[in-house]
Chain A
Amino acid sequence: NAGVTQTPKFRILKIGQSMTLQCAQDMNHNYMYWYRQDPGMGLKLIYYSVGAGITDKGEVPNGYNVSRSTTEDFPLRLELAAPSQTSVYFCASRVAGKTVNTQYFGPGTRLTVL
């Protein structure tokens, strides 16, 4: 299994541009998550999904959109990039069910907005 994969690894955007961060998992996990990590800070949840067609906001959803048309994929969309969205973005997935189930993380996408 490849686990959780993310593309691209790095990206530089200009203010106002849009882009989609891709996330895919091959573990048949129902739950998927998007986090952002700012320097010196922990991870903050942007959006999550408990299954295909079901998404919900996390702690910091403003400026982002998501969709979940398949179990495997969970793309994150930035419509009008702003410097405040400069961050490292992590996707994660886990098996549904018990609260204790582990989240598995992708390698991250480092985004810079200039």
Chain B
Amino acid sequence: AQSVTQLGSHVSVSEGALVLLRCNYSSSVPPYLFWYVQYPNQGLQLLLKYTSAATLVKGINDFEAEFKKSETSFHLTKPSAHMSDAAEYFCAVSSQNAGNMLTFGGGTRLMVKP
């Protein structure tokens, strides 16, 4: 069975500071990993995904994530936080069985202080 753990349910950074959101996965097969963002009262929007083509994945709004197989991690980073980045972020892994369903982590709420 696959699982995803996001360390830190709440992360607070100052505007302009580095954003680091942690995600560790458990998978018996090579994983396909996703980061989604959820703004208040909205659905989930894809930020980026790991497809095995490259370990460093760039997404929208200057976010990027690095796949590290040895650490079973897929942490999300952004060099400089903006107020508009305040949202909830979800890491997810896709199964390779019928339906290709996503298993989500518990989410990390990012708060950005002025």
Contacts and interface: CB of A to CB of B under 8 A. Distances in A.
Q: Is B truly associated with A?
A: yes
Interface of A: 4, 31, 33, 40-45, 48, 50, 56, 58, 90, 92, 94, 99-108
Nearest to B46: A102
Interface of B: 4, 6, 9, 32, 34, 36, 41-46, 49, 51, 90, 92, 94-96, 98-107
A33 B107 contact: no
Contacts, number: 64
B100 A105 contact: no
Contacts of B4: 42
Nearest to B91: A42
A24 to B, nearest CB: 14
Nearest to B106: A42
Given A41-B107, A90-B43, A108-B43, A99 B94 contact: yes
B94 A100 contact: yes
Nearest to A50: B99
Contact of B44 (A40, A94, A100, A105): A105
Given A33-B102, A43-B44, A99-B100, 7 more contacts: A43-B90, A48-B99, A101-B100, A102-B49, A103-B102, A105-B45, A107-B42
Contacts of B101: 33, 45, 48, 58
Contacts of A43: 44, 90, 102, 104
Contacts of B106: 40-42
B76 to A, nearest CB: 15
A42 B49 contact: no
Contacts of A94: 100
A63 to B, nearest CB: 19
**Which 3 A-B residue pairs are closest in the complex by CB-CB distance?**
A42-B104, A105-B43, A105-B44
Contacts of B32: 99-100
Contacts of A90: 43-44
Contact of A40 (B9, B42, B94): B9
